[in-house]
């Protein structure tokens, strides 16, 4: 390592959104950051260094979390260069929206491939390194949609529900090796996630759901575009990386969304569902 840092951290999906905000914030906090992207690493490096300024604590490497070989190659490169890996922040992912009925198998599988299996691939690749060190922190970025099934985002919520169960189990399995595993559950933040959300093909042909889906998606996108900066999530992640005994999950975002996540298991299910349907105009 070229200079003393707060630690070496891998961030997937560093070209935009929460991943990008984390890369910028952690470099400024003294971490040696390796951000990954499917895009041109040189392009993303130039973009980030334009915001951060000249630094030798930021590297961008190519990685496609959908491919085992790509994940292994990138992480091997990082460890060869640094000799260790103190943190892995799994931000890579995308949203999909549309009626569950109109979502094809290939669309659902693509979302699971990145949001769930992509995270699993990274976890599998970094765990042997952290186990040899006897330390490390893995932070998996889930969503409030991983606690609440969101109307017309059913498949996306399913990927995050699955990620929650995977992370809870992994946390118990690896704690004895000195490895900490944590979930972050962001609500709405203003990022490129909104514009990059994929609309299922069948939604464009569906008469049964068309009007309700249009109204619900309008609510969702308005909330996202008017939300806070993802810098808040990056700041939370920095605190978790520095924490010796972090909690299993941290919910962050608008108060109303955090409140909904916490009261879901307290309110009668019919009342909770009624409120959710009213808010998203599903009735």
**Annotated catalytic, 40?**
no
**Annotated catalytic, 245?**
no
Of these residues, 16, 31, 32, 142, which one is catalytic? 142
Residue 184 near residue 237 (C-beta atoms within 8 A): yes
Of these residues, 143, 160, 209, 250, which one is catalytic? 160
Residue 62 near residue 70 (C-beta atoms within 8 A): yes
Of these residues, 31, 32, 143, 156, which one is catalytic? 156
SS (H, E, C) the chain: CCCCCCCEEEECCCCCHHHHHHHHHHHHCCCEEEEEECCCHHHHHHHHHHHHCCCCCEEEEECCCCCHHHHHHHHHHHHHHHCCCCEEEECCCCCEECCHHHCCHHHHHHHHHHHHHHHHHHHHHHHHHHHHHCCEEEEEECCHHHCCCCCCCHHHHHHHHHHHHHHHHHHHHHHHHCEEEEEEEECCECCCHHHHCEECHHHHCCCCCHHHHHHHHHHHHHHHHCCECCHHHHHHHHHHHCCCCCCCEEEECCHHHHHHHHHCCCCCHHHHHHHHHHHCCCC
**Annotated catalytic, 277?**
no
**Annotated catalytic, 160?**
yes
Of these residues, 15, 16, 143, 157, which one is catalytic? 15
What positions carry a catalytic annotation?
Answer: 15, 142, 156, 160
């Amino acid at each position: 390592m070229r200079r003393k840092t707060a630690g070496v951290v891998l961030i997937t999906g560093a070209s935009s959104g929460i991943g990008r905000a984390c890369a910028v914030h952690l470099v400024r906090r003294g971490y040696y950051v390796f951000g990954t992207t499917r895009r041109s690493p040189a392009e993303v490096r130039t973009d980030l260094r334009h915001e951060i300024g000249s630094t030798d604590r930021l590297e961008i490497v190519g990685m496609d979390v959908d491919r085992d070989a790509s994940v292994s190659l990138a992480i091997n490169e990082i460890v060869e260069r640094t000799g260790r890996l103190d943190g892995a922040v799994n931000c890579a992912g995308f949203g999909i929206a549309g009626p569950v009925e109109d979502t094809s198998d290939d669309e659902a599988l693509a979302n699971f491939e990145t949001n769930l299996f992509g995270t699993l691939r990274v976890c599998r690749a970094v765990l042997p390194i952290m186990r040899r060190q006897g330390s490390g922190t893995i932070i998996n970025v889930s969503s409030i949609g991983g606690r609440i099934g969101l109307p017309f985002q059913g498949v996306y919520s399913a990927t995050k529900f699955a990620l929650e169960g995977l992370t809870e189990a992994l946390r118990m399995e690896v704690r004895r090796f000195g490895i900490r595993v944590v979930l972050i559950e962001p609500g709405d933040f203003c990022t490129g996630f909104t514009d990059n959300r994929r609309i299922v093909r069948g939604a464009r042909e569906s008469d049964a759901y068309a009007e309700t889906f249009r109204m619900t998606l309008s609510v969702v996108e308005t909330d996202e575009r008017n939300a806070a900066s993802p810098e808040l999530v990056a700041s939370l992640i920095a605190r978790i990386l520095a924490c010796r005994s972090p909690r299993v999950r941290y919910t962050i975002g608008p108060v109303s969304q955090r409140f909904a996540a916490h009261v879901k298991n307290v309110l009668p299910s019919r009342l909770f569902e009624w409120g959710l349907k009213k808010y998203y105009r599903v009735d």
